[in-house]
Structure 1
């Protein structure tokens, strides 16, 4: 999903991943690695007592190795209905080593690739059939109805960030809330068989948040963005959906300010201007 991090981080994560595999009586099979943002996660195929599995390692500062992100995948395992396709979580373990805390999760293997393999931003038109889009729409509807006390997006954040990053006065009051994956980008979706990956941050968010995020990460490829609007227009082309797009654009512009996906900033601002004009 992301490039290999700097040498020291990569060495430490590989060592911790091997330690987790040993504790789970598993061995790494093959050389393929899947890295998360800035080396925060590392996933590899392993083989053990229950056969082939996907072992995902998460790292955080030891003092932050708990809470919403740490517990998200287990909470999703307990709460998600069958209409939300995802790899099933089978075992987990946590430990602390000096300044770092680790979470190891053993999942059923995913035999298909993510839509993008080098990050969340879409850079070419994906080959996705109507059945795939129908499955995604069904999954988002089922997810939206899950009852949870988890929070993915806070009103307080939107009050503070939306006027700053949108550069215009805007009503920041969320018109409707629902449950969202919270990080629904192209590297967290598989094809041709649909699965939703990485359930760390799920919780309540503005209604339509997931569709809005997928659309925002598609803006570098206008044809693909048009496909998102076509298949998820029943979500996006509503007052709730337009608000969620502005919320997502706010978050991604803040991320760009920190140096992430700089080429996305201009189309995000152009889309925000269009949306703001439509609500005036």
Structure 2
């Protein structure tokens, strides 16, 4: 049963829709349990396109940094990204890499331009939990890879997390996801090509000489 929205109501200092109440009921005919949540209506549109992201003001970035910093400090027993999953995905795509994560932080786990609004709200809280430090920044970075300037902006804004070992592993994970999707489709994409190039640099840093 998905309770991420309700559980996220305890998080302070993060700009997100307020959760009001939830209801669950059993559908005997379909042998399933349904859940509905009532949350604050956010009227600002999602950022969505990279073109819109490029135009975001400095104040927007400052607010997102504050939200992710507060989120990272929130204590939780929820797991958003496990060591096992990270290791499996990275080694599946890139082979032998030391994937041990040495720093963990509470993460949203799905920060991309479709989950961020133009007024700074962070949407979609079903899967939040502990993850490698820098995971959220890495998610947004991967979503920006087709625009070098925007991807660099993300790296600059969240350098404190992304330059750590765990942050680099989080970036490599996102690269692995993009490369893996393209491989399954049988053709490269602008995202997978940019991800492979970024992964080549990350692997030089993460693999012992």
Gaps of at least 5 residues in structure 2 are none
Contact 1:246-1:275 at 8 Å conserved across structures? yes
Indicate the residue corresponding to 2:135 in structure 1: 209
Corresponding position: 1:109 with 2:58? no
Which residue number in structure 2 is paired with residue 139 of structure 1?
A: 67
**Could you list the per-position Cα deviations for residues 165-197 of structure 1 after superposition, in whole angstroms to 9, with x for gaps in the alignment?**
1x2321011121111001111111111x11110
Q: Tell me the equivalent position of 1:93.
A: 23
Superimposed CA distance per residue, residues 60-117 of structure 1 (whole angstroms, 9 cap, x where no aligned partner): xxxxxx1xxx01110001x211x20001111222333616543222211112111107
**Offset at 1:256?**
4.3
| Structure (1/2) with the larger strand percentage | 1
Decide whether the 8 Å contact of 1:94 with 1:103 is kept in 2. Answer: yes
Instruction: For residues 1-55 of structure 1, give each alpha carbon's deviation from its aligned partner in whole angstroms, at most 9, with x where no partner exists.
Output: xxxxxxxxxxxxxxxxxxxxxxxxxxxxxxxxxxxxxxxxxxxxxxxxxxxxxxx
In structure 2, what is the Cα distance between the partners aligned to 1:269 and 1:171? 18
Partner of 1:232: 158
Question: Aligned partners of 1:133, 1:200: CA distance in 2, in Å?
Answer: 23
In the TM superposition, 1:62-81 aligns within 5 A as 66=1, 70-77=2-9, 79-81=10-12
**Does the residue aligned with 2:130 lie in a helix, a strand or coil?**
strand
Relative contact order (alpha carbons < 8 A, sep ≥ 6): 1 or 2 greater?
Answer: 2
Q: Which TM-score applies when normalising by structure 1? A: 0.67
Whole-angstrom distance in 2 between the partners of 1:219 and 1:150: 29
Partner SS for 2:3: helix
Correspondence list, 1:156-167, <5 A: 156-165=84-93, 167=94
Task: Give the C-alpha shift of residue 242 in structure 1.
Answer: 1.1
Quote the residue 1:32 is aligned against.
none
Structure 1 residue 275: Cα displacement: 0.8
Tell whether the 8 Å contact from 1:124 to 1:221 is kept in structure 2 after alignment.
no
Shift of residue 123 of structure 1? 6.1
Structure 2: distance between partners of 1:258 and 1:203: 28
8 Å Cα contact 2:97-2:206 kept in structure 1: no
| TM-score, structure 2 as length reference | 0.88
d(CA) in 1 for partners of 2:31 and 2:51? Answer: 37
Structure 1: unaligned runs, 5 residues or longer: 1-65
How far apart are the structure 2 equivalents of 1:127 and 1:269? 27
Corresponding pairs, count: 203
Q: Which has the larger radius of gyration?
A: 1
